[in-house]
Amino acid sequence: MARPGRPAMPKPELSPTVDSFLDMLTTERGAAMNTRQAYWRDLADVSLFLKANRSTDIDKANTEDLKAYIKDLSGKTHTKGANKSKIAVRTVARRLSALRQFYRFLVSENARTDDPTSTIESPKQGRTLPKTLSEDEVTALIKTAGERGTVEGIRLVCLLEMLYATGLRVSELVGLPLSAIGENSQFIMVEGKAGRERMVPLSDPAQKALSAYTEVRPELFIDPAEAKKNTWLFPSKTSGSGHLTRQRFAQLLKDLAKEAKIDEDRVSPHILRHAFATHLLSNGADLRSVQKMLGHADIATTQIYTHILGEEAKKTVKEKHPLSKTGSKK
């Protein structure tokens, strides 16, 4: 299913080697289903272009075929609302990275003797810092959700408090089973990427929000017996998984942002994860501890949040320091 705002991609007949590659990602590297689907989208887009414009399939493409695809992709624009912009450099880089891994897999499986991406240079990327929210904005979102006074509002407060208290990936949050809640709701057990488990503590506000939500959770069901049978913390009657979906939670946040008078483009589950990390570090948390809570395998991934703090400090100096104004202060 396409994400909200993203047009559905035609379902192409992909080369069997693509399925073999995706199966390898899942079985050997422990890639999550979302990761597998992301690779499928990237390789499907390349396959569609090659068949339509180069009369070849992805597993038989040569370097010139792939350069033609990269050139075409780099020249495209995408539309978001009323705005049009060039395809981001990072999108081109990600697509090329997927192709590199695909062809290396083919070479390792003796399905090809060459890697057609070996002489293609990756586009240069500037450092893009993650978007985040201020502490006041997060507080406004939670307060606005709490003012609704409905079961759905109580659930949304719980989702917000838990996400802001733990920094979970959205798929980890919505897919929490009831069994993940630890003793006295003081922590949760999370299974992250590649099956790595971690224990994440809950703040006092998150514990209170969780307690309030679990009391009203049965009201989400018409039949009380269904509430006992459903094993998900955030159940859904309409999703095939049985629990709230990433897409639905993202839409709930967009609606909440409008209500709280915050730019909806600045609010998403992932941005709240960024806010969690940034606010912890700005209040003196240890980088290694934040890495563990975020579930990052490499601390270099976590260090990006220190750059956000650096940019915020520079902005504060520029706006507030008297000597940063035009001319020196007499």
- Which sequence positions are flagged as catalytic? 169, 193, 270, 273, 296, 305
Q: Which residue bears the tokens 């985040």?
A: 132
Q: CB–CB of 277/167 below 8 Å? A: yes
**Paired strand residues for 77:** 86
